Structure 1
């Protein structure tokens, strides 16, 4: 296996160098998979892995019935977003009113939803989910009215443990607790290891839901500088670890930046938290929405001390409204279960049955393959649209998965004011101010691209770009 990985990486590196030195230019066609197999004298699978690796870095793109081509985003013209460093004099200023304003549009079907991190209905397996609900009702002699075990539906926990192949058997059904979505898993993880007044380390920018959860528990937030490609600055984290009670990070396809922390950085992160005995609440909500050849490992894979609490759900991939999530809490499992008794007691049984059914019969994996393909196609579309319609000095993130794009605009732009202009024209987005406890990222925005790509979507991005240009 190692030899094959080395071969596909070598081929990918060779083609990358050809793109970087203009031997291969934008729009050039690559050899077909069979031609490349003969050219490099390797297996078809090795070539496929090499091309998937290049796709994950947005260097090449497949075109139906035509083959692979050097992508439009191969030679990036846009700089990456700035790494923010918080000054000690910065004052907290929670953007709750702004968050409420943006969430107020969640049910408005006439608004183009670039704002909220929810996949469009056409991306979800609605018909199959409906059939699975009917089957779940028929299969249960109580029609789903009885309480589940507090730890969660046994069938679902067993299927999650079997399905989580990326952890290579390191968790069992007994290691998992079912929660009401991933944010509930994170909230419970925080409750289990902190007390009011404690400090929690997060990325910056960070998902506003996590910031709210931390503040609701009466905890202090320490925002850690974050690289848009590599993730959390581990040197900066090391300096503050002795003063924090917990870390709460997204290591795979962070929201809003979309970065994928390299495996070596994950290993070092786990080493650091183990050394300082600081729990890590790992939000791996987007881990299955990878653009590359394989699903990236979470930090939980490297955890030997039981300090990493691995959180996930199907909210971003299959059924947002089901609120089915989970946590593998390591050494804090008993406390999490006791907390759940005092909160929700149990999870809705029918939704647990449906998700377990999807996992058991491979329907979820099939859906994810289709979902990832659509996400990657949309990523290329939105990158192209930003390149075409937004000012030249716009800085753009380079996500390796998920469905969020982070833009840093001219410093003269206030995206909160821009939001008010856009919503009047039935277009929204998430202003950057929402992603920090401090008054910063005012010239940034997050765009969701998990939607059907239509002429209206294209035109609304053009409209946003024009509003930005008019504000300079």
Structure 2
């Protein structure tokens, strides 16, 4: 509905509230009037007020709390500058990041550590009791107690549920388009093996998830890292130039809430990207594992939505949202379906049928969407808490990504701070995080780090964040003292 000036009524309400938030009339933590109160005050429908609140949620200005109402989550005094688009050097790559990852994986599970490192939801945020119930029901109902192999494609019921959920981003997949895998990394691995050979070159964003670096190294692939914006993702023009002058066998992108930089590629760029890969006939592996963890009103779309030629291999899993240990992921391979099925037959034959059916039961009973709403609310709230903490405790010149979904944040510190050394110091206080050098094969991001906020936020977490900031300030002061002495 529009008013006489042609403006949507919900925007009139939303703009009024946004103005009060920006002016400081409504402050962080303030409760907003109920939907029914505004419905009567403005003389509009309840759905119009809901649209206004949905819009404000999409801008991360307010957040709903179950049975409590809507609250302001934006702090107008907490404005942090974002890092610039990355500019990775095109030099001979190093294997240091792979070694860093191996050491990280071995040491990061120490008991009692405040863990900003693992890109996983904390167990306290997962519906453990309901998952147990779903498992028990599955074991009772599945033929042979789940001891037999499932089909290579995976549970048809689960694949149908996954296909139905693509409607949230405009997808039109069926169960025949989906193959169940052992987590998303298995989906990526099958995709790479289906479209590349050892010695081939792939293109990735920079920084890039260190698991991809490990995987590419094991498969004997060469990597080109391209400039990436913390807001909009990979630089499409840089990709166009690369495809023009180099032979590229595959592109891998985390389009929604990138790990580690947090970017979300705009729909227009996704469309341009798909047209570009169709022009050069280069397949795209789209890692959409964080897509369901949006903070706004609607789930972001995918490159797969624009794919008409089958060149987009869409991958995801339930590891970031529901059950990391179940290792249930999937791939929609497009034109590479036969190759993916053959590779899965060779490498794993089948995926655990008990866990597949347990997740199917969880989805079909409507529990998943309820869980996701709570999880997104928690992550959105945590994102504001960690931004406020960085503003309060970290050096003044700190640059920070401002993710609109997921639970990862990318931080660029003063160049005087070596985050590998910062990591060593933080470990002495039982604090863990990921140094930026882990996310590249080039000599870069040495003053950057990635923090996860996928936990139950408490005073211990807040103190740990404060300690990281204090240690970073100490390192800057030490470097400045050395400079003074040297002069």
* TM surpasses 0.5: yes
Give the C-alpha shift of residue 448 in structure 1: 0.7
Aligned equivalent of 1:466 = 470
C-alpha separation between the residues in 1 aligned to 2:357 and 2:255? Answer: 29
Q: What SS class does the counterpart of residue 270 from structure 1 fall into?
A: helix
Deviations 1:61-108, CA, capped at 9 Å, x for gaps = 557847443621x45532101222123346434312221222123432
Distance 1:470 1:244, change over 3 A: same
Give the C-alpha shift of residue 300 in structure 1: 0.7
Structure 1 residue corresponding to 2:373, chosen from 363, 369, 374: 369
1:313 maps onto 2:314 in alignment: no
Deviations 1:254-305, CA, capped at 9 Å, x for gaps = 1112222111111111111112111111001010001000111111111111
Aligned equivalent of 2:133 = 131
C-alpha separation between the residues in 1 aligned to 2:475 and 2:390? Answer: 16
C-alpha separation between the residues in 2 aligned to 1:307 and 1:41? Answer: 50
Give the C-alpha shift of residue 312 in structure 1: 0.9
Structure 2 residue corresponding to 1:244, chosen from 222, 239, 248: 248
Larger CA deviation: 116-125 vs 163-172? 163-172
C-alpha separation between the residues in 2 aligned to 1:241 and 1:42? Answer: 53
State the TM-score, normalizing by the size of structure 1: 0.93
Q: What SS class does the counterpart of residue 406 from structure 1 fall into?
A: strand
Provide structure 2 residue ranges, at least 5 long, that are not aligned to the other structure.
477-487
State the TM-score, normalizing by the size of structure 2: 0.90
Correspondence list, 1:288-437, <5 A: 288-437=292-441
Structure 1 residue corresponding to 2:186, chosen from 159, 176, 184: 184
Aligned equivalent of 1:262 = 266
Structure 2 residue corresponding to 1:222, chosen from 221, 224, 239: 224
1:280 maps onto 2:281 in alignment: no
Query: In 1, are the aligned partners of 2:60 and 2:296 still within 8 Å (CA)?
Result: no
Distance 1:170 1:2, change over 3 A: farther
Query: In 1, are the aligned partners of 2:436 and 2:446 still within 8 Å (CA)?
Result: yes
Give the C-alpha shift of residue 38 in structure 1: 5.9
Structure 2 residue corresponding to 1:71, chosen from 51, 70, 74: 74
C-alpha separation between the residues in 2 aligned to 1:328 and 1:48? Answer: 35
Q: How many residues align?
A: 469
Larger radius of gyration: 2
Larger CA deviation: 361-370 vs 104-113? 104-113
Give the C-alpha shift of residue 55 in structure 1: 2.9
The CA RMSD over aligned residues, in Å, is 2.5
Distance 1:370 1:13, change over 3 A: closer
Give the C-alpha shift of residue 59 in structure 1: 3.0
Structure 2 residue corresponding to 1:81, chosen from 71, 80, 83: 83
Give the C-alpha shift of residue 169 in structure 1: 5.3
Correspondence list, 1:16-27, <5 A: 18=19, 22=23, 26-27=27-28
Aligned equivalent of 2:8 = 7
C-alpha separation between the residues in 1 aligned to 2:139 and 2:73? Answer: 50
Distance 1:30 1:452, change over 3 A: closer
C-alpha separation between the residues in 2 aligned to 1:85 and 1:76? Answer: 27
